Amino acid sequence: MNVAKLNETVELLKENLGESLLCTAIAMNVDGQSIAGFNSTPKFAALCVKIIKVVNDSAKIGGLPQIGKYVTFDLQEDRVLVVLPLGEYIWGILLDSNKTQMGLLLNIEIPAAIEAFAEAIS
């Protein structure tokens, strides 16, 4: 893992999402420890890890498939939370839904972020 490259990946996300990005954190899946981020707190990183665990555990109990590339939550106060399970890592992204174009986010920005992340950890 190259933390400097992970920080570059976060910077790219900041540049691409602009004012819509409120905070983001890349955390270790095993303990929720944040390793890169922007405007985030340790609680935000740990929460994103917990969300993936709870949703996947619930899906397993219900006989449903696990989360794929990402999961999105439409939150109150015009917020959108996107959480990406990335193997040993979890990436949480909190956005202002009034400033986010969901089509661009899901079809361009998220795939670009996943690709940049893969390069950073290789």
Residue spans of the domains in the chain: they are 3-121
Residue 69 vs residues 39, 72, 114: alpha-carbon distances, Å: 23, 10, 9
pLDDT of residue 41: 93
| pLDDT tens digits for range 39-79 | 999 999 999 999 999 999 999 999 999 999 999 999 999 99
The pair of structure tokens assigned to 99 is 């400033």
- The span from the CA of 3 to the CA of 102, in Å, is 28
Residue 12 pLDDT exceeds 80: yes
How large is the average pLDDT for residues 16-31? 94
**Does residue 1 register a pLDDT over 80?**
no
- Beta strands 21-28 and 34-38 are antiparallel
Average per-residue pLDDT for the chain = 93
Percentage of the chain modeled with pLDDT above 90? 88
pTM over 0.85: yes
Q: What is the pLDDT of residue 2?
A: 78
**CATH tag, 3-121:** 3.30.450.30
Task: State residue 4's pLDDT score.
Answer: 87
pLDDT at residue 3 is higher than 90 = no
